[in-house]
Structure formats: structure tokens, C-alpha cells
């Protein structure tokens, strides 16, 4: 999805990105990711655990 499309569909992004992350592109290159809050929390928690174990 392009930034322009994301702007036009801003209110529907939570439903669109609920199941899996969605890349948002600018000039054909991914620059942002839209994702649900629960997967985001899991990702942050996993990174915290890995960092605490010295893996990051």
C-alpha cells in the first residue's frame, strides 16, 4: 500500500492490518508498517527478552 492509499484508507487500516502487518511504501520502497496492537506488543516483548539474554 502506498502512503497516498494509506492516507485515504486511514480509518480502515486497523481492520486491514489486524491479521498481519502491512507495509506502507513511499516511491516504491517500504517506509512504514501498520500492524495490530497485540502483535506489536508480542514483538516488543520478544525483543526485550532476547535483549535481556544478550541476543540483540
pLDDT digits (tens, 9 = 90+) for 5-37: 888 888 888 887 888 898 999 999 999 999 989
Give the domain CATH number at 11: 3.40.1620
User: What confidence score (pLDDT) does residue 14 get?
Assistant: 80
- pLDDT band at residue 41, thresholds of 50, 70 and 90? very high
Structural domains in the chain (count)? 1
Please tell me the distance from the alpha carbon of residue 2 to that of residue 26, in angstroms, as a whole number.
6
- pLDDT greater than 80 at residue 56: no
CA distance 31 to 24: 6
- pTM for the model stands at 0.67
Distances (CA, A) of 13 to 7, 38, 39, 44: 9, 15, 15, 21
Q: Which domain holds residue 28?
A: 3-52
Q: How confident is the model at residue 2 (pLDDT cuts 50, 70, 90)?
A: confident
Amino acid at each position: 500500500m502506498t502512503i497516498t492509499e494509506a492516507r485515504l484508507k486511514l480509518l480502515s487500516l486497523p481492520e486491514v492490518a489486524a491479521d498481519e502487518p502491512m507495509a506502507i511504501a513511499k516511491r516504491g520502497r517500504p517506509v512504514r508498517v501498520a500492524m495490530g496492537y497485540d502483535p506489536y506488543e508480542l514483538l516488543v516483548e520478544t525483543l526485550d527478552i532476547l535483549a535481556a539474554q544478550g541476543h540483540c
